[in-house]
Amino acid sequence: MTDQNTQHFWNIDRIMKLLIGLAISAVLVILIDYLSDVLLPFFVACFIAYILQPLVDLNRKLIREKGRSVSSIMTVLEVLAVTAGIIYLFMPHVIKELDVLSGIIHEVTSGKRPMPKEYMHLISWVESNVHPSDIKEQLSELHLGSIISKGTSLLNESISVILDVLAWALTLIYVLFILIDYPQIVKGFKLLIPHKYRDKALVVVRDVQTSMDHYFRGQGLVAICAAIFYCIGFSIIGLPLAIPMGLLVGILYMIPYFQYVTLIPVSIICAIYSLSGDVTFISLFGRSLLVYVISQSICDYILTPHIMGKEMGMNAALILLSLSVWGSLLGVIGMIIALPISSLIMAYYERYISYPYSKK
């Protein structure tokens, strides 16, 4: 009975459609990868516009606008104003702390400030185990001359930087126009689906849209709360650059477990600040770890269950795998579209392949 169901399910027509679909998908992946430099600002703008869409709807209700132009402009201006306000409030403090860290490094390297004993033991170990001749040999194998010669054209580098700045400046324009025409764009994507498959496809798309809405916007709210907790915690323990590090943790919180990558720069900051002799590395880094433990406990066990719930159909391992696979295929663009595409594939498989076949 199972063999008959299998033969009936995997007929020639279905296999050919599958192969054609895989071929089209492969061509799209190659094309997106080839045009990644041009498409990246647009994809980033689409993601930002998607996140800001509820704010546009809120502004429309507040000003009672029938269209979307004024509310979209208000949304962009509000985001820019908040960003500029954060920079204006905290940038002088950040610059001051950077000056302090750079001053510590300069005083230690120039001999004006004595090196702490624990670092002297570390330097002695490095000097006894790392031989300069080995480093020189490894550097010579890198053909540094050819590398340097490739970067001698200042004009080409300047033009490249200018073009990159212009490309990212276009992102803001993209965001504005996408927000204004957001309903039409969504409707246009639906019309791209052939009429024969549109009803079935839209059911899957709506399932994915619901889960993505819940995930991105819910995770964004948790990330904002995490950034606030970390900024406050780092400031309380006296960690230099507390605000930038807290904001960085909040940004990386959008990707599961990526916030722990910030332990590397935090440890470097602790090491540099401990050179002043005012605090030891162990005590400062230990207090930083305590901030991670407390903040993560609040976010994982209190905020996330109430905000996110269990409506995201992918666990953390699958999310990380999806980000890794699509990121390796398409770079930053792949990481942006990883979760929607993976959720779409899983929803289609469960609704039209796995479930119908299991019923048989």
Q: What would the pLDDT profile of 52-77 be if each residue is shown by its tens digit?
A: 888 898 999 998 888 888 999 999 99
Determine the pLDDT at residue 294: 94
Task: Find the helix or strand (DSSP H, E) in which 248 lies.
Answer: helix 242-252
Cβ atoms of residues 339 and 215 within 8 Å: yes
Mapped to the 3 state alphabet, what secondary structure does 277-302 carry? CCCCHHHHHHHHHHHHHHHHHHHHHH
Determine the pLDDT at residue 151: 46
pTM of the model: 0.66
Cβ atoms of residues 277 and 116 within 8 Å: yes
Instruction: Look over the chain and give the mean of its residue pLDDT values, rounded to a whole number.
Output: 75
Determine the pLDDT at residue 145: 47
Rounded distance, CA 7 to CA 148, Å? 62
Cβ atoms of residues 8 and 301 within 8 Å: no
Rounded distance, CA 226 to CA 220, Å? 10
Determine the pLDDT at residue 333: 66
Confidence of residue 326 (pLDDT cuts 50, 70, 90): confident
Residue 60: strand, helix, or coil: helix
pLDDT by residue (tens digit) across 123-142? 565 556 655 555 455 545 54
Rounded distance, CA 62 to CA 70, Å? 11
